[in-house]
Amino acid sequence: MNILLKSCTIIDPEGPFHLKVKDIYIEGETITSIEDSISLAADKVVEIPNLHVSYGWYDAKVNFQDPGNEVKENLSSGLTAAALGGMTAVSVTPMTNPTLSNKTQIEYVRKKAEYSPVEIYPYGTLTELGEGKNIAEYYDMSQSGAIGFTDGHQPVNAGIMYRALLYMKNVNSKVVSFPYDYSIFGEGQVNESKASVLTGLKSIPNIAEYLMVERDLSLTAYTESAIHFTGISTKESVDLIRDAKKNGIQVTADVYAHHLAYTDKEVLGFNSNFKVLPPLRSEKDRQALIEALKDGTIDFICSDHTPEDKENKDLEFDLAHFGMIGTQTLFATLNNVAGLDLSDKINAIAIRPRKVMKLPYATITANSRANLTIFDPKLEYSLNADDLASLSKNSPLIGKNLTGKALGVINNGIISIFED
């Protein structure tokens, strides 16, 4: 199938057509021409006001709950939500039931994306069955397509982390660490701040994150390995990572979009959709995260899409599960963040995550592979629950007026245009 994109602004910070308005002609899986004006016949012509195009967006952390919790989300609904959000790739977390702990499970989730414009690059568990006792089958899972290894929100002891970091050097992969010391915050619910005082909810102090970042950086330096931190939320952690990078430690990090857009003030209304882990932090932390993203201390942004059904979310705040959905609304969430321009955002959700996770990437040029997201960064719309493809609706954005929306995705020869 041939497709012609008319008068589109190309957002490709590393490419020759960045910020230029061009026509793009695509034949099958390949961009064959980029010109000021193209008049070739096409099976489909896309001509939409304020049309923008970038390399395909990649949400590097989603929790699709499949296998085991398909009532909350399955791979099909999750991939649909991701596509509607402009993603052409996602990385699913392994703490499902059963866990993604062997090559069979890795192959299972990858095969589910066979006919989707959204590719799945899964994580495998860091330990056998995610139980924290013995390191997992890294080589076999890597050969089957696992791009990194994590036990999700379950911390591992220093000995396991040390051995995992050593082994990663042999499989050209990396540990993905969610840095939290549960012994510090126990049953904490919200940030340790005025929010915890005013709500009366148990608190989660910044040091619970800082201590684990410090430990894992020390182990990474000692083993001369590489580590990726997911869900960094505090200024103290940012400072540690910035210094580690300056000292040559092989560390990368991501931040969840909601930590850039919101602060702990949101929980004062006891809306359980703002109950996330890490908790929403202070304005000081939020500003530190934005600055860290801009200076490269934090490498990229992801959604931490975590579906929860009504039985586990529509409860009193302290009883509700942690998490919010976000892959479909990732870009709109970022559009609420002052201090990041459009190039910053595209870098953080399309280019930099692919580089960190060693996924295919190329600038938008003639003869390159067509892996594209089509979007309008200024499109205004109201989000209804029925608009969300996720089986769960735990989003604080329902009923809100949003700006910025994906209009379609093109990948693997599959063309999905949502707005035409």
Active-site annotation, residues: 304
Question: Rounded to whole angstroms, how far apart are CA atoms 207 and 64?
Answer: 29
Q: Helix 158-171 crosses helix 207-223 at what angle (to 10 degrees)?
A: 50
CA neighbor of 363 nearest in space, from 375, 346, 351, 373: 351
Tokens of 271: 């809306």
For residue 35, count other CB atoms closer than 10 A to its CB: 12
Q: Which helix (H) or strand (E) holds 23?
A: strand 21-27
Q: What is the DSSP letter of 222?
A: H
Q: What burial class does residue 310 get, using C-beta atoms within 10 Å of its C-beta: 0-12 exposed, 13-18 middle, 19+ buried?
A: exposed
The pairing of beta strand 226-229 with beta strand 250-256: parallel
Query: DSSP string of 55-79?
Result: EPEEEEEE---TTT-TTT--HHHHH
Taking CA 63 as the corner, what is the angle to CA 308 and CA 301, rounded to the nearest 5 degrees? 115
**What is 97-126 written as a DSSP string?**
SS-S-SHHHHHHHHHTTTTSSSEE-PPBPS
Side chain identity at residue 101, one-letter code: S
